[in-house]
Amino acid sequence: MHLEIVTPEATLYSGEVVSVAVPGVNGEFEMLKDHAPIVSLLKEGHVKVYGDIQLDEEVEDKFTKADKGVWLPINSGTIEMNDNKIIVLAD
């Protein structure tokens, strides 16, 4: 599935992923391929991206490398998933 992580400053990531876990306002949840369409608000926490993630050098310092993926700290945001495409708008 395709993921885009966008901030007011730049697009931090755009590419294929295996799964994404996010800090929803009602608790953390994870999305895999063929997840039902969803729109949710996000709270402070980490966007956890799993798969073979290749980051651009100019944004690499914003992410933390984790087992089988990367984590991005956020203050808040929104997420939309539809047709195996996830868009994270993060602050």
Residue 50 pLDDT: 97
Q: Is 75 helix (H, G, I), strand (E, B) or coil?
A: coil
Q: What residues contact 61, with CB distance under 8 A and at least 6 apart?
A: none
Instruction: Give mean pLDDT, residues 14-27.
Output: 97
pLDDT reading at 67 higher than 90: no
The architecture (CATH level 2) of 2-90 comes to Sandwich (2.60)
pLDDT reading at 79 higher than 90: yes
Per-residue pLDDT tens digits for 8-18: 999 999 999 99
Instruction: Give mean pLDDT, residues 12-36.
Output: 97
